[in-house]
Chains A and B, each alone.
Chain A
Amino acid sequence: MAEISFPLPDLGEGLIEATVLEWLVAPGDQVERNQPLVEVETTKSAVELPSPQAGKVVRIHGGPGDKINVGEPLIVFEVPDNTAGIVGTVPKEEAPKRRVRLSAVLDED
């Protein structure tokens, strides 16, 4: 297992910090890419931050009301070694689904 830290990004043009309003995930949660992680407030607006990746939440930084500087750790994920650093998403193995049925009268000559 590898840990990947996601720092608070610059949410506007030149913002330096944001205040945590509410965490939407907790340590131990398995999150998907683009799943909302946390609601934060900046001097411009309150926004939900989507997850940059899938993984298990290991740590979150800051509780409601705490200020976090841009570039400081916001959340740490745990991902399997074989997916660390990947661009994109590991495809899920799903049972094949179909709607189309085949019909044919086959001559067996």
Chain B
Amino acid sequence: MSNSILEGALIVESPAATTVMSMQQALNRALDEVLAENPKTLIFGEDCGRLGGVFRITDGLQAKHGEQRVFDTPLAESGILGMSVGLAMAGFHPIPEVQFDGFAYPAINQIVCQIARMNYRSRGTLPMPITLRVPSFGGIRAPEHHGESLEALFAHVPGLKVVSPSNPHEAYHLLKYAATRPDPVIFMEPKSRYWQKGEVDLARHDAAGGSPTGAKVMREGRHLTLVAWGAMVARCLQVAELAAEDGIDIEVLDLRWLKPIDAAALAASVRKTRRAVVVHEAPLTSGLGAEVAQLITQSCFDTLRAPVERVTGFDVPYPSGDLEDEYIPNIDRILFGIQRVLEYKRG
């Protein structure tokens, strides 16, 4: 509203009370508040109690809230998630942690066959208000099973919701929101972004009209939409700045929720830009990029200037740390994907 006559009448929002913190601190604060607000909340997992988690996400929570509510478990993921089922049946709101993505596999039976289905199986009498925190994706030079991207696996299971925050502000608000849901949520924390600081507005998640279950435009642009989630959002924002040097105006859409996907946000963005590239760390084949590409094609088929491109990891097991820079989509691979879309000619 640039009309000077109206300016005096506008209700100007007070400046946002933002705090600068890392994603570690944002998640820790969110968990602290959830424990304080909901006496049914329990937090547990390997090293979550006394140590405070290998990434310090639960640091200090046991000392503050007690060993009955924040505690260590044996090194047995099937037990951690099996126990979560029983606790949820008994009326608790568990927030278990699987220490690393690759260790969710031993608990797949509990997640897929119990947690995802119990509400359906019991005709809604046994909801599973479980928020499973999974430090996810690569980028920290860790050994095998510490850099994997399981979003497509979880998104394929009816009954689960899947979300991944891209920065400290999203981490704080999405975790607090997930912890209040009556359904199981897989909360994928991008571990390579744990330490980067960012501004967090503790009072408000999104601008007016935004939905905590929707995608979020992180940068507006006219020529092409980059779709990403988790750690790849920050990289796509870097790519957008570089593309601007070449006169290409890129919109970056943070999908946030990977199940269900905000199809309306994809449609709105790509109807405007008419070109799209989806970026993820997970392998290409049957990755979530295929789902995103289909949703865009479905809604924007007649306005698309080129097929939706995917820039992803490769169809190989996640490599050792020395090779992960070759595996994870880097700036040049994303720029190549953008160039392929820009130079596409019909017919």
Contact = CB atoms under 8 A, between A and B. Distances in A.
Interface of A: 33, 81-91, 93, 96-104, 106
A88 B141 contact: yes
Contact of B332 (A89, A99, A103): A99
A17 B248 CA distance: 63
Given A102-B246, A104-B342, A90 B140 contact: yes
A102 B221 CA distance: 16
A103 B246 contact: yes
24 contacts: A82-B22, A83-B195, A84-B56, A85-B56, A86-B55, A86-B140, A87-B54, A87-B100, A87-B146, A88-B141, A88-B142, A90-B140, A90-B195, A91-B140, A96-B238, A96-B241, A96-B242, A96-B331, A97-B331, A100-B332, A100-B336, A101-B246, A102-B246, A103-B246
Interface size band for B: 35 or more
Interface in B184-238: 191-192, 195-196, 223, 238
Q: Is the interface of B mostly helix, strand, loop or mixed?
A: loop
Given A91-B139, A96-B331, A102 B339 contact: yes
Given A82-B24, A82-B56, A96-B331, A88 B339 contact: no
Contacts of B55: 86
Given A100-B335, A102-B339, A88 B146 contact: yes
B22 A106 contact: no
Nearest to B339: A102
Contacts of A89: 140-142, 321
Given A85-B56, A100-B332, A102-B339, 16 more contacts: A82-B22, A82-B56, A85-B51, A86-B140, A88-B140, A91-B195, A93-B196, A96-B238, A96-B242, A96-B331, A97-B331, A98-B335, A100-B339, A102-B335, A104-B223, A106-B223
A77 B191 CA distance: 23
Contacts of B142: 87-89
Nearest to B99: A87
Contacts of B47: 85
Nearest to A101: B246
A89 B143 CA distance: 11
B37 interface: no
